[in-house]
Amino acid sequence: MYIESARNLFAEKLKQTDGVQPAELDAIWTALAPVRAEDILGNWKGSQFFTGHRLCRKLTTSNWHGKRFESLDRAQPLICRDASGELYSDVESGNGEASLWNIEFRGEVTATMVYDGAPIFDHFKMVSADTLMGIMNGKSALVLDGGHHYYFALERE
């Protein structure tokens, strides 16, 4: 798959409200370019690919808003909205916060968020300068559902 086709399919699948196939997301991921941790600092609004993965329900219930990368050593994986609409870092659900590294995943070195309190890694690839595709990796019991990873998207705020 060419990069432009991957970008178009990424946008199409992100609009789908259910039935997104993990194999399609795997193909998109493969076609996208890696990104450096240093290049993704800032605030990011999150959205999900609706594959039926159990984390879709969990993050919807927690009012997940996105992620904040303040520096390589200070990343907040679970920025959520409280009942009054205010943003906060949900350190309880995430068992702390995180840091950013450049780590190999599926044969490529790309920006990766390493959770402080859980064996979880969020890997990122570039869709555009202001859009990232993410995939959650780590201990199988925590991140896999039906043998599939959890995919998500981030838009720079």
| pLDDT tens, N- to C-terminus, the chain (157 residues) | 899 999 999 999 999 998 999 999 999 999 999 999 999 999 999 999 999 999 998 898 899 999 999 999 999 999 999 999 999 999 988 788 999 999 999 999 999 999 999 999 999 999 999 999 999 999 999 899 999 999 999 999 9
> Which structure tokens are listed for 54?
């159990």
What is the pLDDT, as a whole number, of residue 94? 76
- CA-to-CA distance for 103 and 60, rounded, in angstroms? 28
Give residue 92's pLDDT: 87
Residues 6+ apart with CB under 8 A from 8: none
d(CA 92, CA 95): 5
State the architecture of 3-156 in CATH terms. Answer: Beta Barrel (2.40)
- The CA distance from 56 to 48, in Å, is 7
Res 118: pLDDT: 92
Q: Could you identify the residue written with the tokens 């995939």?
A: 135
Beta carbons of 96 and 4 less than 8 angstroms apart: no
